[in-house]
Amino acid sequence: MTERPGLAPGFEDYGLSSQRVFRLALGCLSRPCRALDFEAREGRPAWPLPPVAAALALTLLDSATPVWLSPSWRKAGDWLRFHRGCPVGGQAEKAAFILAASPAELPPLASLNQGSDRYPDSSATVIVASVLPLDGRRPWLAEGPGLDGPVIFEGHGLEAGFLDQWRGNRAAYPRGVDIFLAGEKHLAGLPRSVSLADFSGGDSRCM
């Protein structure tokens, strides 16, 4: 079996695991920019993706959700197709889910499906592998629904240039993409409704 990564097992109990993972994802989007501990007890060594991103993909994907995989994660295509039946390998602009192995492999947010004014829910959702900041080196100020006042968001490995991209995403509200930051053992959400500002630069621009 190990030579056929596409046939690696999925969740042992789909119903219970997907419920648990979904509640975590819902918690992350409704309390944004906060890393929730993700005890990936579902994770298997044979999974072609890191456990948190893999669990989220198994929970949310199916035949209705075309997926785009970043180059380092292309190897997971067969596995996702086998378990979830999702179309894999189309253009990033048309995908419902974008799975990226690192912020560097993420296509420009503006190039992704933004949804329409009448149906902003038809936009893409991004799942990107991230790291918890070791030294809090990129303090951003986050503000929006789900946050009881502004909070410090430490970027989780997102590039400095991401801030401009996110401003563009925020300016298109209610259109725009939503992001899940999937770490080794944590998950954080960045919904389109949240504004980010450079904390150090004294930029107090909010919604």
Partner 1 sequence: MTSAETGYNFAYLDEDSKRLIRRALLKAVAVPGYQVPFAGREMPMPYGWGTGGIQVTAALIGPDDVLKVIDQGSDDTTNAVSIRAFFSKTAGVATTTVTGEASIIQTRHRIPERPLKPGQIMVYQVPIPEPLRWLEPGETETRVLHALGEYGLMYVKLYEDISRHGRIATSYDYPVEVFGRYIMSPSPIPRFDNPKLDRSPALHLFGAGREKRIYAVPPYSPVRSLDFEDYPFAVQRWPEVCAICGASDSYLDEVVLDDGGRRLFVCSDSDYCAGRAGKGSPPQ
The residue (of 20 and 138) whose beta carbon lies closer to partner 1 is: 20
Binding residue for partner 1, selected from 8, 10, 29, 103, defined by CB under 8 A: 29
**Residues in 107-146 at the binding interface with partner 1, rule: CB under 8 A:** 116-121, 125, 144-146
The residue (of 121 and 135) whose beta carbon lies closer to partner 1 is: 121
**Residues in 147-166 at the binding interface with partner 1, rule: CB under 8 A:** 147-149
Strand 186-190 to 178-182 pairing:
antiparallel
Binding residue for partner 1, selected from 191, 195, 196, 197, defined by CB under 8 A: 191
How many residues belong to the chain?
A: 207
The residue (of 74 and 167) whose beta carbon lies closer to partner 1 is: 167
Nearest approach, Cβ of residue 191 and partner 1 (Å): 4
The residue (of 62 and 159) whose beta carbon lies closer to partner 1 is: 62
The Cα–Cα gap between 197 and 154 comes to 11
The residue (of 23 and 75) whose beta carbon lies closer to partner 1 is: 23
Nearest approach, Cβ of residue 137 and partner 1 (Å): 27
Size of the site for partner 1 (CB under 8 A): 39
Q: Is the dihedral of CA 161, 189, 118, 143 positive or negative?
A: negative
Give CA 6 to chain center in angstroms: 22
Nearest approach, Cβ of residue 158 and partner 1 (Å): 18
CA distance to 67, 95, 111, 179, per residue, from 124 (Å): 10, 6, 10, 9
Binding residues for partner 1 (CB under 8 A): 13-16, 18-20, 22-23, 25-26, 29-31, 59-60, 62, 64-65, 116-121, 125, 144-149, 173-174, 178, 191-193, 207
